Structure 1
Amino acid sequence: MSLVNIALSGLNANRVALEITAQNVANVNTAGYSRQQAVHAAIGSGTYDRLSPGSGVEVTSIRRVTEQFLVKQTWLTNSLAGYASSYTNSMSQLENTLSADGFSISAGLDTLFTSLNDATVKPESIPYRQQIINESEALSHRFHTLSQSLHHQHKDISDQQNAAILHANSLMSNIADTNKQIAEMQGTGGNPAQLLDARDALIGELAQVLEVRTTDQPDGTLQVTLASGQPLVIGTEAAKLKAIPDPADPYMADLQVEFGKQNFAISHAVGGKLGALVDYQHDVLKPNQRALDDMAQSLADEFNHILATGKDLNANTGKSLFQYDPTNPAASLSITDIQPEELAFSEDGTPGNSGVLSHLIELSNKAVSVTGYGSLSLNDAFTAMVGQTAIKARQATADFDAKTIMNKQAIAARDNVSAVNSDEEAANLMVFINAHNANMKVISKANELFDSVLQLV
């Protein structure tokens, strides 16, 4: 009855192939699903009979159709796209803030110096002097509100970093758990295809948060590390990312990896969304906050210094116009309780003298030192800040567009190899059904032959 046994092996093999095809068709719209194939192999006769063709066919394994290089490319481009997206959002927010009319330091400086110029007509005029005080207060308010806006973004970036760290830690824990399940499944001879797809998806999601590297292990697990080498997942053990706050600024933090009882400092860029947040905070936001503080401090110091050289309408030594806290000049900048008649515009106490007022007006073109921008006038410094931010924002947008295209191309390349093709599966379905039916006919004919033999007896 070898004929029947051979046909039965064909039935079983094609039944498995049909089940695999059905699984593929069912997951045609499942993102990240890797199609599967039955690997067939002929069964030898197991005897030394030269006339034996063999004992049929068997499914030796179920092949998960995947190309690991293409999968890793999707992870890498996930990191690049995640970085570009986060960085672009932050730069766009900063650009919108700096370009808003209410936050424009340049506009405030222009109106202040215009009021100073107007006062040259009649330096002793109380209305002109009051207007100067009003514009000074308005300018200090611009510094205050802009500084507060940057501070709020600074805090928001910190909150986003903490959220990204929590998300990454959760993903790393899930990857370690999936590693364990895969190792157990492979150890018992099971098919871990769905678990492998799930792990790929988890690593892909982790790659959006930070750039990772992976290494295959003999037991089927994956070792995951940062691009700079710090361990994130080893076998069934997961690390934890930690943010160590800066004592001088609670919204600035150093990143560390805690693995077991060891702590690894992260001194290099981490990539992904988290890397973009860190880079933006260190390279763009904080420098602009320092530059704004320099502008506020220079404005106050220069005005107060010149006013101190003059005399007011009562022939008294000039009082300061601005005041600030040296630890955060822009946020604390305000005017003093100075009265209009106390503005020391005269060099000799004569009410109509405007020598000191002229020196104040000359401050509009005086170069001061501003961190990150060199020595230039206050107006030029803020204009440079706005212009540089606009340039960086455009560059970030262009980079985001390019990285998004790269990511889509990498995903398409992976799907071209691994995703389900409905036409291909429909063709496979017909092939396996026909093969299944053919084996049924073989069994039917074998039964007819057996019945014929019995009739001869």
Structure 2
Amino acid sequence: MSMINIALSGAVASQAALNASSQNIANVMTPGYTRQGVLLTAQQPLMSGAVTAGSGVQVTSLLRFADSYKSQQLWAANSQLGAHDTMQPYLTQLEQVMNSSTASINVGLDGFFRALNAASVDPSSSPLRQQVLTSAGALAQSFNSLSQVLVNQRTAVDAQRGSMVTQINSLSSAVAKLNQEITAAQARGINASGLIDQRDLSIDELAKLAGIQVMDQPNGARNVALLSGPPLVADGLAATLAVQGTASGAQVLTLQFAKESFTLSDAQMGGQLGGLGQMEQQVLVPLQQSLTDMAAGVAGGVNAQLAAGFTPAGAAGGALFSFTPGSSSPLAVVAGLQAQDLAFSGNAGTPGDSSNLLQIIGLRGQALSISGLGSVTLGDAYTQLLGRLGTQSQQNQTALTTAQTVRTQAEESWKSTSGVSQDEEATNLVQYQQMYQANMKVIAVANQLFDSTMAMMS
């Protein structure tokens, strides 16, 4: 093969390499861009003979510097980060509310029993009796305020879950569409690196919302499935995720893929969706039940003891609290109750007697059965609930910090293979420019030799 053709192949190869470096430099700030390069291979001689050097160089393929394992690590780290990051704002808000003086049930209990102790000095005093009623209302309000916060958080969880399901469906459809475009491009011999980058970015966003498994297919497609197994994307087909309400008011996740239908547990989904499920099932629901048990214990214990006593007029005692389980305002002072209706006396004929009042005061030290805590005293129940929440929040914060570190490390590991280095590309530009110039010099020399040969023959 002539010098000109050999040098021309070198010039074409260096031009392809310069194009790849130019594309890399142009996308140095593009999120998710995977750098590209050329694979150069020496062409074998077309003619036989020991002194035939070869036929030049060819660009065998355009390389895409991607590592599937590092991408998998990147997506797994994003799922973990999404789960803990979603839970923390809810936990932080709960801690702040439960520790505040206005919503703390311990503050309400202290005020109520302090008023009872003050009334025990003079059970017949109307102002002291009225203070008991006032403090009972404040205690009920503290239960109701915290209960409303929990209801609001569950409402927010439901709304956020619906939004995430919409995002998951949109991203799944995008991945399925990109699978089709990538498969078609590769079948026609077109470089699909840009489409693959778009798909990987969509998968990364999907991984943040839910824990996923990603499987590469021989045709260039990537199938995506949830951690529990149901498919989200298979080639060009995407599943549809939906939220359905139940008679109890809870939400259930369902997934429809082709003709198959799946019921999912969002607490096991991973990602932000899994974080919401864990927050609801492991924190909000148990805390609501514990709060209900406490309110029932307060209302039941105080009302039962008052029923055993007598008012200053000698009448049998009645209830101080009304309890409504399942309501956002579970506790209230009985409507129309007057200070003189409180049955503090243990003897119908002794209005100034405080023996029954002392029994009410003693309720604070009696054991109650609280869901999630077991048998605890009324005075210790809220403190233990607050401690349990603090532990959950601290554990999640620690896990969040770890997840952030793992995600950062996964990103750096991905960039070490797929990211664009400006210094490296600058070096490549110089080398490929020199390669191009050298090949053009060979062509010039070949032309001079050709002219010289023609001159000798003329």
TM-score, normalization by structure 2: 0.97
1:257 equivalent in structure 2: 255
**Structure 1 residue 14 and structure 2 residue 9: aligned?**
no
SS in 2 for 1:31: coil
Instruction: Using the TM superposition, give the Cα deviation of residue 31 of structure 1 relative to its aligned residue in structure 2, in angstroms.
Output: 2.1
Deviation track 1:255-280 (CA, whole Å, cap 9, x = no partner) reads 22210221112247111111010011
SS of alignment partner, residue 384 of structure 1? helix
The answer to whether residue 84 in structure 2 is matched with residue 84 in structure 1 is: yes
Distance 1:416 1:378 in 2: 58
1:18-37 to 2 correspondence within 5 Å?
Answer: 18-37=18-37
Q: What is the CA RMSD across the aligned residues, in angstroms?
A: 1.2
Kept in 1, the 8 Å contact 2:161–2:276? The answer is yes
The residue that corresponds to 2:213 in the other structure is 213
Q: Secondary structure of the equivalent of 2:435?
A: helix
- Equivalent residue number for residue 202 of structure 2: 202
Match of 1:146 in 2: 146
Q: Secondary structure at the match of 2:218?
A: coil
Structure-2 separation of matches of 1:327 and 1:93: 22
8 Å CA contact retained: 2:312, 2:352: no
**Secondary structure in 1 aligned to 2:214?**
strand
Corresponding letter in the other structure for 1:332: P
Instruction: Please state how far the C-alpha of 1:49 moved relative to its aligned partner.
Output: 4.1
* Partner SS for 2:268: coil
Report what 1:188 is aligned to.
188
- SS of the residue aligned with 1:120? helix
Partner of 2:157: 157
Q: Which whole-Å CA distance do the structure 1 matches of 2:355 and 2:382 have between them?
A: 28
Cα displacement (A) at 1:18? 0.3
Aligned counterparts, 1:416-435, within 5 A: 416-435=416-435
AA of the residue aligned to 1:307: L
Shift of 1:325: 1.9
Distance in 2 separating the partners of 1:361 and 1:284: 31
Partners of 1:98 and 1:160 in 2: how far apart?
Answer: 23
2:403 is the counterpart of 1:391: no
CA distance in structure 1 between the aligned counterparts of 2:410 and 2:33, rounded to whole angstroms: 15
Q: Is the aligned partner of 1:171 residue 2:159? A: no
- Greater shift, 154-163 or 259-268, is seen at 259-268
Decide which moves more: 190-199 or 51-60: 51-60
Q: Give, in whole Å, the separation in 2 of the partners of 1:362 and 1:284.
A: 31
Q: Using the alignment, how far apart are the partners of 1:146 and 1:102 within structure 2? A: 10
**Contact 1:70 1:414 survives alignment (8 Å):** yes
Secondary structure of the structure 2 residue equivalent to 1:334: strand
Structure 2 Cα separation of the partners of residues 372 and 94 of structure 1: 17
Is 1:332 aligned to 2:330, yes or no? yes
- Match of residue 271 from structure 1: 270
CA distance in 2 between counterparts of 1:370 and 1:299 reads 12
Deviation at 1:313, TM superposition (A): 1.3
- Whole-Å separation in 2 of the counterparts to 1:335 and 1:147: 16
Distance apart, 1:244 and its partner CA = 2.1
2:61 aligns to what? 61
For residues 448 and 47 of structure 2, what CA distance do their matches in structure 1 show? 27
User: Is contact 1:105-1:379 (8 Å) kept?
Assistant: no
Tell me, yes or no, if the aligned pair for 1:4 and 1:442 is still in contact at 8 Å: yes
For the residue of structure 2 that corresponds to 1:331, the secondary structure is: coil
- Render the CA deviation track for 1:197-248: whole Å, top value 9, x for unaligned: 1111111111111111111111100110011111010000011112222211
Return the alpha-carbon distance in structure 1 between the equivalents of residues 46 and 58 of structure 2. 14
The 5 Å alignment of 1:83-122 reads: 83-122=83-122
Alignment of 1:282-293 (within 5 A): 282-293=281-292
Q: CA deviation at 1:289?
A: 0.5
Amino acid at match of 1:325: T
Cα drift, residue 77 of structure 1: 0.5
Distance in 2 (alpha carbons) for counterparts of 1:358 and 1:284: 36
C-alpha displacement at 1:407, in angstroms?
0.6
1:42, distance to aligned residue in structure 2 (A)? 1.8
Assess if the C-alpha contact under 8 Å between 1:321 and 1:335 holds in 2. yes
Instruction: Return the offset for 1:128.
Output: 0.6
In 2, the alpha carbon distance for the partners of 1:31 and 1:24 equals 12
Contact 1:112 1:135 in 2 (8 A): yes
Report how far residue 422 of structure 1 moved: 1.1
CA contact (8 A) 2:112 2:136 kept: yes
Residue 364 of structure 1: aligned partner = 364
d(CA) in 1 for partners of 2:88, 2:73: 22
Distance 2:254 2:56 in 1: 59
Contact 2:295 2:330 in 1 (8 A): no
Query: Number of aligned pairs?
Result: 454
Aligned counterparts of 2:88 and 2:119: Cα–Cα separation in 1: 45
Structure 1 residue 37 displacement after superposition: 0.8
Question: Is 1:342 aligned to residue 359 of structure 2?
Answer: no
One-letter amino acid matched to 2:313: N
For residue 63 of structure 1, give the secondary structure of its aligned residue in structure 2: strand
Deviation of residue 50 (structure 1)? 4.1
The alignment partner of 2:6 has SS state of: helix
Determine whether 1:231 maps to 2:231: yes
Deviation at 1:51, TM superposition (A): 3.4
On the 8 A contact 1:364/1:377 being kept in 2, the answer is: yes
1:400 aligns with 2:400: yes
Percent identity of paired positions between Structure 1 and Structure 2: 37
Q: Deviations over 1:376-411 (max 9, x none)?
A: 122211111111111111111111111100110011
Distance 2:130 2:30 in 1: 70
Is contact 2:292-2:330 (8 Å) kept? Answer: no
Q: Distance in 2 between matches of 1:186 and 1:90?
A: 46
